[in-house]
Structure 1
Amino acid sequence: MSNDKFFDKSREQSLVKSEIVYKYFWSWAKIMMPRAKKRFNQIAYIDLLSGPGRYNDGVASTPLLILEKAIADPDMRAVLVTVFNDINPEHTHSLQEEINSLQNIHQLKHQPIVLNEEVCENIIQCIDRLPSIPKLFFIDPWGYKALSLKLISSAISGWGCDCIFFFNYNRINAALSNSLTTKRMNKIFGQDRADRLRKELIGLNPKERESIIVKNIGDALKEERGSFIQNFCFQKNQSNQTSHYLIFVSKNKTACKIMKDIMAKKSSILLQNVPSFKHSSDPVQLSLFDLNGIDKLKNMLLDDFAGKTMTALEVYEQHHLEKQYIFSNYQQALKELETEHRIIVDPPASQRPKYKGKVTFAESTKVTFPLE
């Protein structure tokens, strides 16, 4: 499928992707705006491969959703800078027309900037020269040619800067074994890691390959200052094979928690309230064996924190990375462990407030895990 045909209709996966980006943008912007008013007076949303603005069926894509939200909020209207880029001039022309037709677009203090540039070294140099303001980058290539570690590193380099990008697993998986795409894969993973990865993938089955590739892109991003990574998997229609990942990269643990909660709600299935962080138009195809339930989490907590006393939030922050669990899963696990008398909680359930008839488990609640 060509990139142009991709915009023929608003596929379910595209709508899920847009909603995740849109919801995170709003949460990120609400946190950044108060600080921006005091220190920067600007925040920026930058989409390096923005598309035409609307799918051919008329549904608004991410750029228009972002702008409509900004126009509706007086505080955001005053500080938001938006930059939309696409290499296809037809897309940029269409997007500019759609932007011009938005009601009250003139109320934005900073009018949207629409560019028609290739995402290459020049773009990276431009990013490096941007003002030191909080920025949220979205990078959504149809394939992988626009992606590089250097690009993502530049995107997250400043304070308050996060990046969301689409990782075309299906095509990258094939490209890693193709000598014609060696240089491009080296830019995505780093040459040393890419060389090791090619050797490691030899003889692995598809599930093993996917696990190794996704782990390596995460490790590469961490070396580029992306301390917190959160993935969301998109699976092909009528199968359980992976097509793409939406990958979030940040230097901030709170940002990761926010994005993880957003992605969790878009998961196609849950097991014991634990999200899959996967989307499929046929959720039945998702294997329950890929999910880790609350019972497994309870046992992990008892083993990993034996003899320690800590708050519920500390338990979550020290344990959740690279796992499927969100904070509410930890609350549920700790409540059950308390009921089973397997941990000591301060204050105990009898002294904690209730919400909708259920005992709460606040972030500050202290938990003592017994020694093994």
Structure 2
Amino acid sequence: MADSSFFDELRDNSLVKAEIVAQYFWAWAKVIIKTAKKGSNKIAYIDLFSGPGRYQDGSKSTPLLILERAIADPDMSQMLVTLFNDKNSNHTQSLKQAIASIPDIGRLRHEPIVLNKEVGEEIFQAIQQINNNVPTLFFVDPWGYKGLSLKLIRSLIKGWGCDCIFFFNYNKINPGLNNPKVKEHMNSLFGQERVNVLQPELKLMSPEQRELTIVNAICKALEEVGGSHVQDFCFKNAKANRTSHYLIFVSKSRIGHSIIKDIMGRKSSIFDQGVPSFEYNPAPAIQLSLFDIKPPDELENMLLDEFAGKTLTMLEVYNQHHVGKRYIKKNYKQALLKLEAEGKIITNPSKRTENTFGDSVEITFLPK
């Protein structure tokens, strides 16, 4: 059973996590709804480890944020199907009460489903009944790692418009990778072959190298099961300034990746010349994230090298270059504005509102 104190001890982290998921859901839904109207006329949100309705400090959990936003939107209130599950009966009872107390909950065409089950075959059957040809955002937030696997993630994102955001508990997974008692869980999460390679490598690494290697490994594993677009976001423990966990987004959608990247970038606690760390720290330290964050002038040089002699729109430059890097769209626009001022690129139109760089602006990179 999950430690219920989690919902008290990690208040700040939990709030940021809930905001990221809720903000992405809204942006995702706005993109998906137009196409969904032509098909099933439904979109879905499914949370497999939903927790209680509220945290100990009274903050609303993700299910409440999702439902309240849906009620206020005419399309969403008629299209949204929700399923919330938690094996802790105290959590599901709390969630049911919190949902029932939401003003105007009756405006939702589809009544929220709350289940009290282990994540397994019964849950999968319930999911299939809901998301058959229905675009779905899945949130998977286990306390540890039990129930989380590559097989599960592959099954969740296989349909059109299906994205997944999940909780990657680094604090527990890090020691678990060299613990024979949980080898089966690690194999299901990373793949047995990858675990066999990781185990001897990790023993020789510093804590920083170890963390980077583990995160890169899970991202690679997700790509191999169909998640062509993966984005991670780190949460630090304020008391020890150590990594607690990650929130990881996985999707087949380029647009979804761009949306979540901007949302996570804005939630970062640390910025280096406008470049986000993709890290939330309740008590930020002076040093930057352990990940390599290159300043904007490095981005300018990278663009000049990669696109020399080519003509593309700003959006094409961003889409072709940002995957796997810590830059957000704002960083690209700032870099291109500087290159334009230095005469290193030619833009069309060249006359625009000052300090703006629209997605459709055409850029010609001069040959080297």
- TM norm. shorter chain > 0.5: yes
User: CA-to-partner distance for each residue in 1:280-302, whole Å, 9 max, x for gaps?
Assistant: 01123442774221111111112
Residue 361 (str. 1) matches residue 361 (str. 2): no
**Aligned: 1:370 with 2:362:** no
2:291 is equivalent to residue 294 of structure 1:
no
Q: For the residues of structure 1 that align with 2:246 and 2:195, how far apart are their CA atoms?
A: 19
Residue 26 (str. 1) matches residue 26 (str. 2): yes
Structure-1 residue corresponding to 2:249:
248
One-letter amino acid of the structure 1 residue matched with residue 195 of structure 2: A
Q: Secondary structure at the match of 2:99?
A: helix
Correspondence 1:255-294 to 2 at 5 A: 255-287=256-288, 290-294=292-296
Match of 1:88 in 2: 88
Q: Secondary structure at the match of 2:249?
A: strand
CA distance in 2, matches of 1:208, 1:10: 25
Q: CA deviation at 1:202?
A: 2.7
**TM-score, normalized by length of structure 1?**
0.94
User: Which residue of 2 is the match for residue 210 of structure 1?
Assistant: 211
Alpha-carbon distance, 1:279 to partner = 0.4
Give yes or no for the alignment of 1:135 onto 2:131.
no
Match of 2:65 in 1: 65
Q: Secondary structure at the match of 1:17?
A: helix
* CA deviation map 1:176-231 (0-9, x unaligned): 01111111000001111121222322301111111111111111111111111111
Q: Which residue in 2 is equivalent to 1:105? A: 105
Q: Is the 8 A contact 2:11 2:55 kept in 1?
A: no
**Structure 2: any 5+ residue segments left out of the alignment?**
none
Native 8 Å contact 1:10 1:55 kept in 2: no
Q: Counterparts of 1:81-230 in structure 2 under 5 Å?
A: 81-124=81-124, 126-128=126-128, 130-230=131-231
**2:327 equivalent in structure 1:** 325
Aligned to 1:305: 307
| 1:214 aligned counterpart, secondary structure | helix
SS in 2 for 1:46: strand
Offset from partner CA, 1:30-56 (integer Å, 9 cap, x none): 222222222111110000000111112
Secondary structure of 1:38 counterpart: coil
Query: Secondary structure in 2 aligned to 1:118?
Result: coil
Q: CA deviation at 1:170?
A: 1.7
Distance 2:201 2:310 in 1: 38
Displacement, 1:9? 6.0
Are the counterparts in 2 of residues 53 and 98 from structure 1 also a CA contact under 8 Å? Answer: yes
Are 1:8 and 1:55, in contact at CA under 8 Å, matched by a contact in 2? yes
Contact 1:49 1:84 in 2 (8 A): yes
- TM-score, normalised via structure 2 length: 0.95
Deviates further, 185-194 or 116-125:
116-125
Residues 327-359 of structure 1: per-residue CA shift (max 9 Å, x gap):
1111110110111122222332xx2x21xxx23
Native 8 Å contact 1:127 1:154 kept in 2: no
Q: Which moved more, 1:120-129 or 1:153-162?
A: 120-129
Whether contact under 8 Å (1:10, 1:59) holds in the other structure is no
User: Percent identity over the alignment?
Assistant: 55
For 1:78 and 1:217, locate their aligned partners in 2 and report how far apart those are by CA, in whole Å.
37
Aligned equivalent of 2:51 = 51
AA paired with 2:84? F
Runs of 4+, deviation exceeding 6 Å: none
AA aligned opposite 1:168: N
RMSD after superposition: 1.8
Q: Which amino acid aligns with 2:281?
A: S
Residue pair 1:271, 1:288 contacting (<8 A) in 2 also: no
Please tell me whether the aligned partners of residues 16 and 266 of structure 1 are also in contact (alpha carbons under 8 angstroms). yes
Matched-pair contact (CA < 8 Å) for 1:86–1:116: yes
CA distance 1:9–1:69, shift in 2 (3 Å): farther
Q: Is the 8 A contact 1:124 1:150 kept in 2?
A: no
